[in-house]
Amino acid sequence: MTRTDTPPSWDERTQLATFLDYARATARDKCEGVSAEDAVKAPLPGSPLMTLCGLISHLRWVEYFWFQVVFLGEEDEGPWTDEDPDREMRIAVDVPLAQLLDEYEEQSARYQDLVAGHDLDAEAKRPIRDGRHVNLRWIILHLVEETARHNGHLDILRELADGRTGS
């Protein structure tokens, strides 16, 4: 996937999709060339689940939750449980980073098709915590924010792992 934040056209859908794709590509770029050992390190004492693998897994499952569970109304088959709500981050250290990145990219392609095939004003099948039904536009904006925020975490982890900055 090409990493650009400049959309090929200026309609709202294309702009939103471009920014989400850009944030996704940035997350992948932050992980490029990292060693397997560094991908599972949790260097922040107060955040034992904060690893490169954990964050990529989290991003993948967050998109699953918002698109498939909330928007489409499918059953929640995510890895989390009531006892371990952050399980997607915990189990990620047992999965090679390359596999996590491949799964994230494959899923992103499916969600690109989902976004292209639905009206931005289409309401989610399931309500959010306050009982309201968000629309697809809100979900895309939320995922841009979520992914961009975690890209900052990936920046920090990568610099602590091997000194690489930028991207």
The pLDDT tens digits along the chain (167 residues) read 568 898 888 999 999 999 999 999 999 999 999 999 999 999 999 999 999 999 999 999 999 999 999 999 999 999 999 999 999 999 999 999 999 999 999 999 999 999 999 999 999 999 999 999 999 999 999 999 999 999 999 999 999 999 999 86
Secondary structure of residue 126 in the 3-state scheme = coil
Distance CA 167, CA 24 (A): 12
pLDDT at 1: 53
pLDDT at 9: 87
H or E segment and range at residue 74: none
Distance CA 15, CA 12 (A): 5
pLDDT at 4: 86
DSSP type of residue 1: -
Burial of 48 (0-12, 13-18, 19+ CB in 10 A): exposed
